[in-house]
Amino acid sequence: MRLGYTAAAVREAEAPLLTAGRGEALMRAAAAGLASVCRRLLSERGQIPGSRVVMLVGAGNNGGDALYAGANLADRGAHVTAVDVFGKQHPAGSAAFISAGGRTEAFSPETAAVIAAQLRRADLVIDGVLGTGAKPGLPDDLSALIRDWQGSAASSQFVVAVDAPTGVDASTGACGPTHVRATHTVTFGADKAGLLLPGGADAAGEVTMVDIGLDMSPHVPAVHVPDDAALATLWPRPQAGDHKYSRGVLGLVAGSARFPGAGVLTASAAVATGVGMLRLLAPAEVTETVLQTYPEVVTDAGRVQAWAIGPGAPDRLTMQHAITAAESQQLPLVIDAGGLSLLTRPLETSCILTPHAGELSELLARLGTGAPSRSEVEAEPVTHAVRAAQVLEAIVLLKGNRTIIARPDGTVVAPEPGPATLATAGTGDVLTGILGALLATTAGTDVDLADLAGLAVLMHARAGAHATHASHLPAVLEADVLAVLDQA
């Protein structure tokens, strides 16, 4: 699982090493990692000798990292130009760069057009303007240069950002109106949270973390990104002594005469994910279809270990009874779609809420915590998901191209985006079925619900890579779950 930290946490981890006089060693280690990535990219395209490299160099340590890396490339025959953006460079880095044969040009209104042309012609551009403490919003002349360069640069050009792309908040992922769009980012000491979050992740491209010896153990990660390794090790597995009740029973309220398909999809996904028993409370239009494929599904009320409610506009009274039962018995539940309209307060049990941007906008407005529009939620998904999680004291899974799972403490789980094939009707119902099954099979354990939700999103994305429509997802999902279980 990849962990992302705020820029402040990384600076705190650096502080003891800087106090001990190891600042130059840290910079050299960072620059060596940066140069290694640049050499690899240039070698993939052809060869390093004769390649054209242009560096945008700021005044601080970020610029120093770039200069040392530029010296490394120049030593190997690359034609490297350092653009002095602010009229001041890291002294030792600049000396090493000039000694290696690099050339420097000052950035000014008079040289801007020439520099923009050099940037466009470069095989590789190194963005070393600002460090991780910088915020979005750039000087007008620098913004104009970036727009002039990236507006017409070749699509084959490599752009390597140093620690974080210029114009991107390394802690939040917020991007200024003008920012560098990198193909690769080389970050140092620890992954920065903003490079793993919406906005920043898109601007950063492929992220490589270079270990420079920081101890991040005292610091709480702001972002968790689940990966295939986490899926293989953390996915719940049936045990030798299990029976249907100990394996987990899910109570599901999904579907209606108007939207029977949503209930069928949710139930099918829950069964495919694996539960000891599924109790489906739904009208005949739903249950009859489900029983044709899954005759083991029980359609009467009874003992459950977790609840999932909401897909397909189910009966509101039945959903309310499920919420009441969950609270009185301290059972976890997942609430989707129609169930979200029942929420007016924090529930007295653990729960995962799964709104899309429009539903989250409506939910926040109903709770009296502001009324962001759907577009505002989509523009700042982390901000609004965290606010909802804090107000409702719940895990909020905000569905979207890059799904965000927020905890009340402000930390988030940010799975990699799933395939575009998931952008079809019914895929959210399948996700609710996966979540419900996982809640049932882990009920009574100390599992972190946000991390569990991250696994669900990851498995959902896996299935989506092999399906073109929601009704095919459960069959693919079952095969994917079995493949993960076989990795034990």
Distance CA 124, CA 129 (A): 15
| Cα radius of gyration rounded to whole Å, the chain | 26
How many helices and strands, by DSSP H and E, does the chain display?
Answer: 18, 18
Residues 6+ apart with CB under 8 A from 474: 265, 268, 269, 271, 272, 430, 433
Both tokens of 257, joined, read: 């005469």
Distance CA 397, CA 95 (A): 50
Tell me how many degrees the CA angle 47-49-54 measures, rounded to the nearest 5. Answer: 95
- Which residues are known binding-site members for AMP? 399-403, 428
Distance CA 2, CA 225 (A): 5
Q: Tokens 């009920």 label which residue?
A: 443
CB 121 within 8 A of CB 158: no
Distance CA 296, CA 278 (A): 8
Q: Coil, strand, or helix at residue 124?
A: strand
CA nearest neighbour of 447 among 458, 435, 431: 435
- Which residues are known binding-site members for (6S)-NADPHX? 61-65, 131-137, 163, 262, 312, 356, 429
- Which residues are known binding-site members? 61-65, 127, 131-137, 163, 166, 262, 312, 356, 399-403, 428-429
Distance CA 466, CA 292 (A): 24
Residues 6+ apart with CB under 8 A from 302: 249, 279
CB 267 within 8 A of CB 297: yes
Distance CA 445, CA 439 (A): 10
Both tokens of 7, joined, read: 């820029």
Q: Tokens 């397909």 label which residue?
A: 312
CB 164 within 8 A of CB 215: no
Q: Coil, strand, or helix at residue 123?
A: coil
Q: Is the dihedral of CA 469, 475, 476, 478 positive or negative?
A: positive
Q: Is 3 exposed, middle or buried (0-12, 13-18, 19+ CB in 10 A)?
A: middle
Q: Give start and end residues of each alpha helix (H) in 345-426.
A: 357-366, 374-379, 381-392
End-to-end CA distance of the chain: 18
CA nearest neighbour of 286 among 254, 249, 321: 254
- Which residues are known binding-site members for K(+)? 62, 127, 166
